[in-house]
Structure 1
Amino acid sequence: MTGETLFLAHRVPFPPDRGDKIRSHNVLRALAALGPVHVGTFDDGSGYGDQFLSGIAGSHHLVPRRKHDMLAAAEAMAKGHPVSLSAFANEGLRQWVKQVLHYRPIDAIYVFSGQMAQYVPVHFPGRTVLDLCDVDSAKFEAYGEAGHGPRAWVHAREARLLAAAEERFARMADTTLLISENEANLFRTRVSSMNHIDLRVMRNGIDAQFFAPDACPPQPTLYGPGPNIVFTGQMDYAPNVSAVERMVQRILPGIRDVHPGAEFHIVGRAPTPAVKALGKHTGVTVWGEVADVRPYLAEADIVAAPLTIARGIQNKVLEAMAMARPVLVSPEAATGIEAEDGRHFAVAEGDRMMIGRALALIDDADKARGMGAAAREFVLNEQSWPAMLAGLPQLLRPSDADPVRDAA
């Protein structure tokens, strides 16, 4: 395969330890296997960015940090732009992109997340693939509808302006990717028309060799006698915060009415003050960031994901399934995972149903083990990263004989 690729991402794709970085990391590795790749991205404070990019990219530009939220908001308000775009607008990166496109034989640009589409020149002659992952504007719309006062107004404004930008960027791109059919269908309802938009689905995969029941030594003393219910995720992310608050305040008490020893464990980096405060409740432990999440999954009796706002496919759910754990999910958290309720995981809508299905899994250990085994088999057969990324070469450099546009 000839030509080189420019890869633009809003966060350095390493380490692959949260949802969007898992996807961007695996996409970048697949692109590097196809040919030289040049990476423009923003550092997120991990400290690994330069070392990782030096080992995988032909060249790279790592912006030390994105704008402070207040500065980004001020610029966005003054210019009538979405805050999401202003936060990632950087003149140094813009100039680097121009130089790379001028001096290197770039015939494809892979844009990871809508924030980075602002760097693609209008008249770029090669292929552009826009990986939106999910419909961010819909998330802000949900925040606005659920909120009150000035913050709700800000979220509603962001939803409106970002939806217009998403449509504009999708028309600019040769192909736009979303993470699930649900997200693709949602996107279709939010644009004026699908003319000149090639919309496709590329689902998330999972590293089932890393997330495997026997991939880490047992730690039977990690938790108490339980039953132990676990939630994993980035704990300064609003949907995750809302989910654990729901679990502690409305679901766990019903479980503890039947099983007084039941405990809920919140595992994930950057817990907010509101999340830390949940640790004051009886039966709740806030672990914060851990070196390896796998033991915390492996020792769980149930992994719960009671999300009420969820965009795209939840990696936390796939990871728990790969670890052969029985997983209790809301319909929102199950979105995009083509598994069977009652066989591969348990889907529950509403707090009372969450309590009931959790109790059923606790009281029938054989059924819970069977569900975990079926979940892992599903991940092995249906959710591997090589299978998910097999179509990348054709997306980036299609043959003349194969029609590229498949207008939805």
Structure 2
Amino acid sequence: MSDQINFSNSNKSNNKEPLLYLCHRIPFPPNKGDKIRSFNILKKLSEHYDIHLGCFIDDAFDKQYVGTLAKYCASVFYLDQHKTIAKIKGLTGFLTNKAITLPYYFDKRMQQWSNRTLAEHKIRKVFVYSSSMAQYVQSKSGGLGDEYNSLERVIDFVDVDSDKWRQYAEKKSGIAKWFFNREYKLLAREENAICAQFTHSLFVSADEAKLFRDNQPQAQQTKVHGVLNGVDVKFFDPGADFSKESLVPDVPFISFTGAMDYWANIDAVLWFVEQVWPLILAKQPDAVFCIVGGNPSREVSALANNKGIVVTGRVHDVRPFIEQAQCVVAPLQIARGIQNKVLEAMSLNKAIVVTTMAMVGINAEQSTGVIITDDSNTYAQACLALLSEPPKALTNREWILAHFTWQQTLQPLMNYFSTKESH
């Protein structure tokens, strides 16, 4: 299904310049990593522009929130995305020598709406969230789409997605290794082509931006920037009122939060349960580990059969599972960018035990209540210590307030768009 909704409320203003915003997933509700960032950027841009949003909805649960976007958008066009059909479409990339990500997210109805919206509203500025959506405003070989070259196009890659595929390939063998390596190389080629065409390329941290910048020709390097993620410090405030969640254990527990159909999160909890959890149970047999997040995969759901493990699925309010835990873990083995789960736990001033990858870009090693280790034995010992005695005088929230509020992190965003007067 597709639908276009025009909002004729006070959000639309003749004083605001129109802007096309293309996003691979509806940026509301901000309840998972990519949507938290895409929503907060949308919110910031809506202060300056009349936003015309084009997006996919890949979870029927999210459709109820389309009307909520009236507060931030002049119009919204969305397409229902059925994952099985999208995967089949993705496989056509093998016929065209493209990364499967591109046909996975291509729909001619989105292309037609995008072109029509650009023309009808005389839009000169475009913001693209994720590399998969750049194809709708990208010039193709043979002169196709050259009209897009006159647009001011800013893309938020967020992470170097191609490098995730490289990391996946390292963990595989045989045909799977070949498949992931192919996607890594083709997606990297696409990312470079986008950077060459677009006005600015944004990434979620200075580290991520440097990784990408170092692989670009010198002429492109000044167009690559880091714009940090933030956290809603009013929502993730230990003094806020939380919903009552029936699945919160009434005994000391450890928690992990995240979208549980995302491979990096699945891989993280599998590693923790296989490598760390038995060591914890050996010393504390009544310990409980809560895996909190929507759409748990088959492998994650099966973990509930293990002693002391609770798999919650989607919850109304994630905060009680963080705030009431003895500690929060983020044992990521595959990662890019900044982990929102870590920022949220720190904003609630919880002690965290994390791997090196989970802390990239946050740089909070000096904060009390942050334990970083990649060794399973050390990881277990840290969790056991926090289970037996809650730490005192943590400074994790202070670190977040000093470095990671959205007001601070999105401050540079408007620097990457020219003002109306400069045209």
Q: What is the letter of the counterpart of residue 119 of structure 1?
A: Y
The equivalent position to 2:78 in structure 1, one of 54, 62, 69, is: 62
Gaps of 5+ in 2: 1-14, 140-146
State yes or no: 1:369 paired with 2:385: no
Partner of 1:83: 100
Q: How does 1:184-203 map to 2 (within 5 A)?
A: 184-189=209-214, 191-197=215-221, 198-203=223-228
Contact 1:219 1:299 in 2 (8 A): no
SS for the counterpart of 1:196 is helix
The equivalent position to 2:251 in structure 1, one of 225, 233, 244, is: 225
Q: What is the letter of the counterpart of residue 401 of structure 2?
A: L
Structure 1 residues 217, 385: CA separation in 2 closer, same or farther (over 3 Å shift)? Answer: closer
Partner of 1:101: 118
Q: What is the letter of the counterpart of residue 398 of structure 2?
A: E
State yes or no: 1:31 paired with 2:56: no
Partner of 1:261: 286
Q: TM-score scaled to structure 1, two decimals?
A: 0.91
Q: CA deviation at 1:399?
A: 8.6
Cα distance in structure 2, aligned partners of 1:272 and 1:250? 19
Contact 1:108 1:397 in 2 (8 A): no
Cα distance in structure 2, aligned partners of 1:178 and 1:267? 27
Between the two proteins, the alignment pairs up a number of residues equal to 395
Q: CA deviation at 1:22?
A: 0.4
Q: CA deviation at 1:166?
A: 0.5
Cα distance in structure 1, aligned partners of 2:311 and 2:138? 46
The equivalent position to 1:47 in structure 2, one of 58, 63, 78, is: 63
Q: CA deviation at 1:388?
A: 1.3
Q: What is the letter of the counterpart of residue 223 of structure 1?
A: P
Sequence identity percentage: 33
String of CA shifts for 1:101-140, please: whole Å, max 9, x gaps: 1121323111100001101143432321110000110111
Partner of 2:7: none
Larger mean Cα displacement after TM superposition, 1-10 or 346-355: 1-10
Q: What is the letter of the counterpart of residue 319 of structure 1?
A: E
Q: CA deviation at 1:335?
A: 0.7
Partner of 1:404: none
Cα distance in structure 1, aligned partners of 2:137 and 2:209? 22
Q: What is the letter of the counterpart of residue 303 of structure 2?
A: L
Structure 1 residues 341, 245: CA separation in 2 closer, same or farther (over 3 Å shift)? Answer: farther
Partner of 1:290: 315
Cα distance in structure 1, aligned partners of 2:243 and 2:179? 47
Cα distance in structure 2, aligned partners of 1:270 and 1:35? 34
Contact 1:264 1:285 in 2 (8 A): yes
Partner of 1:9: 23
Q: CA deviation at 1:274?
A: 0.8
Contact 1:42 1:66 in 2 (8 A): no
Q: What is the letter of the counterpart of residue 369 of structure 1?
A: K
Q: TM-score scaled to structure 2, two decimals?
A: 0.88
Q: Give the RMSD, CA atoms, in angstroms.
A: 2.1
Structure 1 residues 54, 192: CA separation in 2 closer, same or farther (over 3 Å shift)? Answer: closer
Q: How does 1:4-403 map to 2 (within 5 A)?
A: 4-44=18-58, 45=60, 46-65=62-81, 68-122=85-139, 123-124=147-148, 125-189=150-214, 191-197=215-221, 198-217=223-242, 222-226=248-252, 228-341=253-366, 343-365=368-390, 368-371=391-394, 374-397=395-418
Q: CA deviation at 1:207?
A: 0.3
Contact 2:101 2:132 in 1 (8 A): yes
Gaps of 5+ in 1: 402-408
Structure 1 residues 256, 376: CA separation in 2 closer, same or farther (over 3 Å shift)? Answer: same
Contact 1:206 1:385 in 2 (8 A): yes
Contact 1:209 1:215 in 2 (8 A): yes
Q: CA deviation at 1:52?
A: 2.8
SS for the counterpart of 1:215 is coil
SS for the counterpart of 1:370 is coil
Q: What is the letter of the counterpart of residue 31 of structure 1?
A: L
